[in-house]
């Protein structure tokens, strides 16, 4: 059974870069049946899709975040990562990573989720 665990600093200062890592166990991140995704949820609000990436390095970020988002994959550590630049209070959220089975899209659908990590943007 796959497990995903997000990790990273719980607080980031405005204008700095948010960096998170998702460690995958129970499956290989190079499994070509899946994409790997990031989703966030501001406190008390709904889910927002950030983007997905494939083990080849191809990534598909949300158009609303694409200018600030980069995603990468590290097969040697079975991890994938998210970087979000120039953060503001609006980026305060619970950040989830997910395993997304491939379908007829380049996003897949988030099927297995981590427990989430809260990131607060504050000076």
Stretch that binds other proteins, among 7-15, 17-25, 41-49, 68-76 (CB under 8 A): 41-49
In the complex, least distance from residue 13 CB atom to other proteins, rounded to whole angstroms? 27
Q: Which range touches other proteins (CB under 8 A), out of 16-24, 75-83, 85-93, 107-115?
A: 107-115
When asked if residue 23 is in the footprint of other proteins (CB under 8 A), the reply is: no
106 counts as binding other proteins under rule CB under 8 A = yes
Q: Which token pair is 73? A: 């994959």
Which range, of 8-16, 26-34, 40-48, 80-88, touches other proteins by CB under 8 A? 40-48
* DSSP string for 48-117: EEEEEE-TTS-EEE-TTTTTTEEEEEETTTTEEEEEE-S--GGG-EEEEEEEEE--SSSS----EE---E
Residue of 111, 10, 104, 108 lying closest to 51 (CA atoms): 108
Site for other proteins in 53-82 (CB under 8 A): 60-63
Quote the tokens at residue 44.
Answer: 């008390």
The strand pair at 112-113 and 11-12 is best described as: unpaired
Residues found near other proteins in the complex (CB under 8 A): 37, 39, 46-49, 51-52, 60-63, 96, 101, 103-107, 109-116
């Amino acid at each position: 059974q796959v497990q995903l665990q997000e990790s990273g600093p719980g607080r980031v200062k405005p204008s700095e870069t948010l960096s998170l890592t998702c460690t995958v166990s129970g499956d290989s991140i190079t499994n070509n049946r899946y994409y790997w995704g990031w989703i966030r949820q501001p406190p008390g609000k709904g889910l927002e899709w950030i983007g997905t990436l494939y083990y080849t390095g191809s990534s598909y970020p949300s158009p609303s975040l694409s200018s600030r988002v980069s995603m990468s994959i590290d097969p040697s550590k079975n991890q994938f990562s998210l970087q979000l630049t120039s953060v503001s209070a609006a980026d305060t959220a619970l950040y989830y990573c997910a395993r997304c089975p491939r379908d007829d899209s380049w996003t897949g659908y988030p099927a297995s989720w981590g427990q989430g990590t809260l990131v607060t943007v504050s000076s």
